[in-house]
């Protein structure tokens, strides 16, 4: 099994290839479950050129950069606040997906059209424009996911997508932009914008609750 850093390297390459972020925008992080430290992309790194040396190892509780590590991304606060808000989260993918951000800026909610989009995302929230790299933005994004939501559009900026694994965070981020593209196409065709029938998620939630009950 490959470790979180190697998984993030793959996600960075794929995210740029899919056009979910351009150049040195966006940043990625992961931690071992329950750990008070995370690997986060270092400042100035390009997501399609990541190596093991592109990551900073940062303590989550106080933001201290552990000795010998490069300076983390200027958006490190976004990651730290989200880990503090959600002990179950072990990976955070912050990208700049164009269609998601454009729809949000136009006041159109991103609709979850397909079963995949509904399954992986469940809900998309957004926070208004707040300058990137600030604690205010980190706090707003953390508040938006505190009750279990996993996907937030950051106004005029990008998205913050969280999960318990790097792979799932990546799937969610890719599905967000797919949903935004479908929403955009529906609007361009004159609408109305469809959404996956709610009985699908009702069925999924019942199955998940039954599975959780048998684990207890």
Positions touching Zn ion (CB under 5 A) are: 158
Instruction: Closer to Zn ion by CB, 118 or 144: give it.
Output: 144
**Alpha carbon distance 93, 17 (integer Å):** 15
Instruction: Closer to Zn ion by CB, 73 or 175: give it.
Output: 73
- Determine the residue with CB nearest Zn ion: 158
Q: Answer whether the bond into residue 192 is a cis peptide, omega within 30°.
A: yes
Report the b/e string of 165-184 with b at 16+ CB within 10 A.
Answer: ebebbbbbbbbbbbbbbbbb
Residue 47 CB, nearest approach to Zn ion (Å): 11
Bridge partners of residue 152, in order along the sequence = 125, 160
Instruction: Closer to Zn ion by CB, 73 or 111: give it.
Output: 73
Residue 126 CB, nearest approach to Zn ion (Å): 14
Residue 140 CB, nearest approach to Zn ion (Å): 14
Q: What Cα–Cα distance (Å) separates residue 148 from each residue in 41, 130, 142, 166?
A: 24, 22, 10, 17
Instruction: Closer to Zn ion by CB, 72 or 158: give it.
Output: 158
Instruction: Closer to Zn ion by CB, 4 or 158: give it.
Output: 158
Helix (H) or strand (E) segment spanning residue 139: helix 135-145
Residue 157 CB, nearest approach to Zn ion (Å): 6
Nearest to 72 by CA among 127, 11, 28: 28
Instruction: Closer to Zn ion by CB, 94 or 171: give it.
Output: 94
Residue 162 CB, nearest approach to Zn ion (Å): 15
Q: How many residues does the chain have?
A: 216
**Alpha carbon distance 179, 61 (integer Å):** 34
**Alpha carbon distance 39, 35 (integer Å):** 11
Let me know if 24 is exposed, middle or buried by CB neighbors in 10 A (0-12, 13-18, 19+).
Answer: middle
Residue 75 CB, nearest approach to Zn ion (Å): 5
């Amino acid at each position: 099994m490959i470790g979180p850093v190697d998984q993030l390297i793959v996600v960075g390459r794929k995210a740029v290839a899919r056009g979910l972020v351009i150049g040195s925008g966006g940043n990625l992080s992961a931690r071992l479950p329950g750990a008070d430290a995370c690997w986060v992309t270092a400042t100035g790194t390009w997501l399609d050129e990541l190596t093991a040396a592109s990551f900073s190892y940062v303590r989550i509780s106080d933001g201290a950069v552990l000795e010998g590590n490069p300076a983390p991304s200027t958006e490190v606060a976004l990651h730290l606040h989200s880990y503090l808000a959600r002990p179950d989260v072990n990976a955070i993918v912050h990208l700049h997906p164009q269609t998601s951000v454009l729809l949000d800026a136009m006041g159109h909610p991103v609709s979850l059209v397909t079963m995949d989009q509904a399954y992986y995302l469940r809900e998309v929230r957004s926070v208004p424009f707040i300058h990137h790299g600030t604690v205010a933005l980190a706090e707003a994004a953390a508040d938006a996911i505190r009750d279990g939501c996993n996907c937030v559009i950051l106004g005029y900026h990008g998205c913050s997508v969280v999960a318990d694994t790097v792979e799932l965070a990546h799937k969610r981020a890719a599905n967000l932009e797919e949903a935004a593209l479908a929403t955009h196409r529906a609007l361009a065709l004159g609408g109305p914008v469809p959404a996956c029938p709610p009985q699908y998620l009702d069925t999924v939630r019942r199955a998940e609750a039954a599975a959780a009950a048998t684990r207890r």
